[in-house]
């Protein structure tokens, strides 16, 4: 999962105080096939979704996770995009799918990768701290910006009032994360006269931030870790001069997604599932996102044994997600440029981090029953969510809403009007006492303490979480392979005389930009 750029997944658990939600619609399969096919249509093929859920086991998923861990171990400890570890991960997915009977496709994309030339904050006293240039922030001049520091009256620096009475002109503003968007802090500081802005985190990790759009400020803006930031605050208070140096250049790179789909099923009504295959350079990426990739792979293997389906099921293992959702966005952009291709996708389900050690059982809140989404939610998304929550309700498994924020690979789908939902066991949010009451674990620490670190290895993936999530993914897959009428009104296997053939990629397509520090580093 891409690193947090805005505050998401707040601790509100209102809908779950009741345990299960009687207000949510039942899963699609509770409605039966959804209607008889019309003239010229073949027979309806119904999968026993509950039986199929039992066929996707923790043991099966774990075998894939063990291989992904071995791949990381053999490739400098990671499976990051543009590395041999990613290539080996893709080959493993392809071989496994091909043995199961699928034809696999590599879907290439090109993008501009930001290669970092400088990322530091130096003190006049000699100390130097690591920073990260915020996405959409301009670079500093070569050698950086050297100036006195300034501190807002309220630490967070969100408004003009924060700088009232402070000498800001010609200084580098040093502010804390919190209360408002990073862009608000940067705009307020520049308006007060700052020539650079540093935002320090409210946790120990280096802060990877974004301004959200180009052109909001004309001064360099960077993030840094909490302890380093507090040390800089002390230095500024003592009158120490700062030098902020954040620069990058862009290089064109190419990566790829892995895509496969069932041979059976009407291909004008495609159910699509995805998980990103790449991790970060810092570690093996076994929860983020070996877990989602492995669950998806085992579901695909088991589904291949079903010779008759109403709807085609398409699986995608996305590339360069950790560089900014690049692979999935490029894929959707390409489909959007081909007449009718996006219309063929009935719904998209995303699985990014489903084995967190201090887990929650989270479902993307597509019906906005807990969190208002920051974008327009496509019609049919709430019904897609209901397939997942319906499974948990019928099995007595507590669950919580997680914000439908576009923080993972479903973003491009919903921005292009494709219904979506998905599952999530938590990343860097702190577990609450209310969540402990529902799921066990430890309050006061993160859902995944190893998020984006070397500790994200197989020993820190929760078998229990996998054991809950894998059957849920399987149930949703089988349900929607049978019937999507609750989502888009389409039921039955369709007119078998109208076959489009499976989607195939073009000769490559470009999109967006990633971000590289020295050798490789995520941008988001």
Q: Is 435 a catalytic residue?
A: no
Pairing, β 221-224 against β 132-133: antiparallel
Residue entry with tokens 């010779």? 307
What whole-number distance in Å separates Cα of residue 145 and Cα of residue 120? 11
8 A C-beta contact, residue 313 and residue 347: no
- The contacts of residue 27 (CB under 8 Å, 6+ apart) are 386, 387, 388, 389, 390, 391, 394, 475, 476, 479
Residue 210's DSSP bridge partners are 135
8 A C-beta contact, residue 96 and residue 297: yes
Q: Is 187 exposed, middle or buried (0-12, 13-18, 19+ CB in 10 A)?
A: buried
- Candidates 374, 316, 380; CA nearest to 346 is 380
- Candidates 171, 183, 227; CA nearest to 203 is 227
> In degrees, to the nearest 5, what angle opens at C-alpha 351 toward C-alphas 350 and 356?
150
**DSSP assignment, residue 93?**
H
Q: In angstroms, how far is CA 43 from the centroid of its own chain? A: 38
| Candidate list 67, 114, 298, 321, residue with the active-site label | 321
> In degrees, to the nearest 5, what angle opens at C-alpha 206 toward C-alphas 203 and 212?
100
8 A C-beta contact, residue 299 and residue 100: no
What whole-number distance in Å separates Cα of residue 246 and Cα of residue 222? 7
What whole-number distance in Å separates Cα of residue 281 and Cα of residue 521? 6
What whole-number distance in Å separates Cα of residue 325 and Cα of residue 348? 15
Question: How crowded is residue 46: how many other Cβ atoms within 10 Å of its Cβ?
Answer: 17
8 A C-beta contact, residue 268 and residue 494: yes
**Catalytic residue list:** 321
């Amino acid at each position: 999962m891409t690193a947090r750029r805005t505050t998401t997944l707040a601790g509100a658990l209102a809908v779950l105080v009741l345990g299960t939600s009687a207000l949510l619609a039942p899963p699609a399969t509770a409605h039966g096939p959804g209607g008889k096919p019309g003239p010229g249509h073949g027979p309806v093929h119904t999968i026993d979704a509950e039986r199929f859920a039992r066929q996707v086991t923790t043991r099966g998923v774990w075998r894939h996770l063990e291989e992904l861990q071995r791949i990381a171990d053999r490739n400098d400890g990671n499976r990051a995009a543009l590395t041999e570890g990613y290539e080996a991960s893709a080959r493993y997915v392809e071989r496994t799918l091909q043995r199961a009977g699928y034809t696999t496709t590599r879907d290439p994309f090109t993008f501009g990768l930001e290669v970092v030339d400088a990322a530091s904050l130096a003190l006049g006293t000699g100390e130097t701290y690591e920073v990260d240039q915020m996405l959409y922030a301009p670079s500093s001049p070569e050698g950086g910006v050297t100036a006195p520091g300034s501190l807002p009256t309220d630490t967070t620096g969100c408004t003009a009032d924060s700088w009232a009475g402070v000498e800001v002109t010609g200084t580098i503003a040093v502010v804390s994360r919190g209360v408002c968007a990073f862009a608000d802090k940067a705009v307020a500081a520049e308006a007060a006269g700052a020539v650079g802005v540093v935002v320090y985190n409210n946790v120990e990790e280096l802060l990877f931030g974004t301004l959200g759009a180009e052109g909001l400020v004309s001064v360099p803006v960077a993030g840094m870790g909490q302890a380093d930031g507090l040390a800089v605050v002390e230095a500024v208070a003592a009158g120490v001069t700062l030098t902020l140096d954040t620069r990058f250049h862009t290089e064109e790179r190419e990566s790829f997604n892995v895509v496969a789909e069932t041979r059976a099923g009407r291909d004008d009504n495609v159910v699509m599932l995805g998980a990103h295959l790449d991790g970060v350079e810092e570690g093996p990426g076994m929860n983020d996102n070996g877990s989602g990739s492995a669950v998806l792979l085992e579901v695909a293997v088991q589904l291949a044994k079903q010779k008759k389906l109403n709807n085609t099921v398409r699986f995608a293992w996305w590339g360069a997600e950790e560089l900014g959702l690049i692979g999935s966005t490029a894929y959707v952009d390409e489909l959007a440029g081909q007449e009718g291709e996006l219309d063929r996708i009935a719904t998209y389900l995303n699985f990014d981090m489903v084995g967190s050690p201090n887990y929650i059982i989270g479902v993307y809140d597509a019906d906005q029953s807990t969190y208002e989404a920051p974008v327009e939610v496509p019609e049919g998304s709430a019904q897609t969510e209901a397939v997942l929550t319906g499974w948990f309700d019928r099995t007595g498994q507590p669950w919580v809403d997680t914000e439908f924020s576009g923080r993972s690979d479903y973003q491009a789908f919903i921005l292009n009007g494709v219904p979506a939902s998905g599952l999530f066991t938590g990343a860097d949010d702190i577990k609450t006492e209310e969540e402990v009451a529902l799921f066990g674990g430890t309050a006061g620490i993160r859902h995944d303490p190893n998020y984006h670190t070397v500790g994200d290895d197989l020993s820190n993936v929760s078998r229990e979480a996998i054991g809950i999530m894998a059957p849920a993914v399987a149930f949703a897959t089988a349900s929607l392979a049978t019937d999507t009428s609750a989502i888009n009104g389409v039921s039955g296997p369709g007119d078998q005389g109208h076959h489009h053939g499976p989607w195939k990629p073009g000769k490559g397509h470009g999109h967006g930009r990633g971000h590289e520090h020295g050798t490789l580093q995520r941008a988001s």
